[in-house]
Amino acid sequence: MPLAACTSPQQAPPAAPSVTTESAGPAGPVPAGLDRFYAQPLTWGACAPYATSDDVRSAFGRTDLQCARLTVPLDYGKPQGDTITIGVLRHKASDSAHRVGALVLNPGGPGASGMSAAAGISSQVAGTDLGKRFDLVGFDPRGIGASEPEVTCLTDTERDQERSEDLDTDGSPAGVARQEAESKEFAAKCAQRTKYGTGMLANLGTRDVVRDMDVLRSALGEQKLTYLGYSYGTRLGSTYAEAFPQNVRAMVLDGAVDPNEDEVSSLVAQGRGFGVAFNDFTKWCAARQDCALGADPSAATRAFQDLVRPLIDHPVRLRDGRELTFDDATLGTIQALYSQQLWSPLNAGLNELKEGQGTTLMALADQYNERDSSGHYTNTQDAFTAIRCVDDPPVTDRAEILTAENRYDQAAPFLDDGRPNGAALDPCAFWPVPNTSQPHEPNVSGVPPVLVISTTNDPATPYQAGVNLAKAMKGALLTFEGTQHTVFLQGISCVDRIGSDYLINGTLPPEGARCTAQ
C-alpha cells in the first residue's frame, strides 16, 4: 500500500536584501513562560544561505525575498531548556499603504518546505490584490528544510539503496521480515542521527508546529493569524484554530485532511482518489494517437500493469547506474497524477518504458522524493515519516494492515503489483517515542468562519474530506470541479477571486459555491 505524502506541489521560480531587524514586542496574549520567544525580533537578510537543495538555490537568490530565523523551545513543556530555530521566508506586500498584514502558508506534506512554497507563490501573486495587500510568509516547520536541527534518518546513498530494493512487492513471510527489519533500522537511525535524538522526535508533531506558528504570528507583529494551508497544512490550520481560537483572523484550507479520520481509513480513501485520477488520465490519454496505454480506457489498467509489473523482477538500468524499479515507476505515476500538467510527461515516460527506457519515470519519482540532479535528497521523506509517527497512533494489528492493503489494491488497481500482500509493520510500530495526538473533532468555538476549498477529483485528499472539514470547522465550502491536488493560487480565476476576497475582506462565498476550470 503506497503511502503518499499529501503535499501541494509548488514550483519555486527563479529567490533576498540587506539585513534588517524588526521587533514591535509581543503581539497579542503570551502563554506563561514564553515571553522571550513571543517578543523576539526577526533579523531579515538574504535567503541564499537557507537553500537546502540545487532545485531552490536560484529561487532563494532573488532580491525581492527576505529570510530570517525564529527561535522556539525544543520542548514547550520546558521553555527554559534547549532551543531550535525555524527558517522563515517573506515577500513583502507591494502596496504598503493598504497592507492588511502577513499571510502565513504551509504547503503540506507533512515535511514540505513552506519557504520554497512561498518563494514560488510570491511570483504567481505579484501584481494581484493578494500580493499587494499581504506579506507572503512561508516557514519550514521544525525539523524540516532550513529549520535547525533537521530530522535526519537516511543518507543519500541509503535512500538510493532503499529505493532499489523494492521490498514492498514481497508479501511472503521472509519479505515481511525484511521489511520490518528495515523499518526498525529506520526508526533507530532517526533517533541516532537527529540532534537531540528522541527529545526532538517527541516534539516534532503538529501539536508543536502550531505553537511555533503562534510564536511566528507574534514575532511578525500580527495580533491575529491569517493562514493558508494546503493538504496536510489544513491539519495545521484546524489544530491551530483549536489551540489558539482567539488568535485566528482568517484561514483558507485547501485539499483537506479529515480531522476525524484514522490513518488506515485516510490511506484507503487516498487510494480511491488516485484510482479516480488514474482513470481520468487514461481517458485523456486514450484521445491521443501516442497514448502508451492504448485507445480503450477500460483496458488501460491492465496495459499499465503489463508495463510496470515486469520491473519487479527485471528493473530497467539507467545511464546514471541506477535502476527503475516497480516502486519507482508507480511512484513516478503517483507524482504525475497530482497535476494535469504532468500527464504529458507521464505518457512520455510510459512510452519510454515500452522501449526499455526509464529516464522520465525516474525523473518523476525523483521529483516526488525531492532528489536533485546532484543525487542529494531533501529531508522531506524522513520528516514525513517522523511526523506521521508522532501525530497518529501506530497501526499494529496485522489483520487490519492486511485488510487495508487489499482494500487499497481494490481502490487503486493500477498500483496492484499482482502478488499476495503481506502485513508488515511500518516504522511507526517501532517508533522510539509515543504519539502526541489522534484523530478527533476539533473544538473551534469562537473561531471566525474559515474557507475550505475541495476539489472533486483530488487524488491525494478526497473531496469528502473537505466537506467534512468545512462542517467540523463551521466554515464555508468552495467546490472546484477538476482533477488535481489543491487549486488556490494556481491560475483558476474563479477560485483565486473567491479565496482572495475572503482573505482580504472576510467575504465568504454563498452556500453551494462551485468553480470550474476555464
CB 15 within 8 A of CB 117: no
Residue 282 sits at the vertex; the CA angle it makes with 276 and 287, to the nearest 5 degrees, is 140
Quote the DSSP letter at residue 2: -
Quote the DSSP letter at residue 148: B
CB 140 within 8 A of CB 147: yes
Those residues whose C-beta lies under 8 Å from the C-beta of residue 418, and which sit 6 or more positions away, are 305, 309
CB 333 within 8 A of CB 414: yes
188 class by beta-carbon count within 10 Å (0-12 exposed, 13-18 middle, 19+ buried): middle
Residue 440 sits at the vertex; the CA angle it makes with 237 and 184, to the nearest 5 degrees, is 90
Residue 469's DSSP bridge partners are none
**Which cell numbers in the block locate residue 69?**
530565523
Q: How far apart are CA 6 and CA 257, in angstroms?
A: 9
* Helices 206-219, 380-391: crossing angle, 10 deg rounding: 110
Given the residues 258, 485, 496, 500, select the one marked as catalytic: 485
Count CB atoms within 10 A of the CB of residue 502: 21
Q: How many residues does the chain have?
A: 518
The verdict on whether 500 is a catalytic residue reads: no
Pick left, alpha or beta for residue 110 (phi over 0 → left; psi -120 to 50 → alpha; otherwise beta): beta
DSSP codes, 478-511: EEEESSSS--TTSS-HHHHHHHHHHHHH-PPPPT
The verdict on whether 445 is a catalytic residue reads: no
3-state class of 251 per DSSP? strand
The verdict on whether 314 is a catalytic residue reads: no
**Which cell numbers in the block locate residue 345?**
510527461
CB 200 within 8 A of CB 74: yes
Tell me: cis bond preceding 434? Omega within 30 of 0 counts: no
Residue 477 sits at the vertex; the CA angle it makes with 503 and 407, to the nearest 5 degrees, is 125
CB 376 within 8 A of CB 382: no
Residue 204 sits at the vertex; the CA angle it makes with 439 and 389, to the nearest 5 degrees, is 50
Given the residues 166, 327, 382, 458, select the one marked as catalytic: 458
Most distant CA pair in the chain: distance in Å? 67
User: What sections of 222-325 are H helices per DSSP?
Assistant: 232-243, 263-286, 300-308
Q: What is the amino acid identity at position 467?
A: V
Given the residues 147, 231, 238, 339, select the one marked as catalytic: 231
Count CB atoms within 10 A of the CB of residue 338: 25
Of 275, 297, 305, nearest to 410 by C-alpha is 275
Catalytic residues: 231, 458, 485
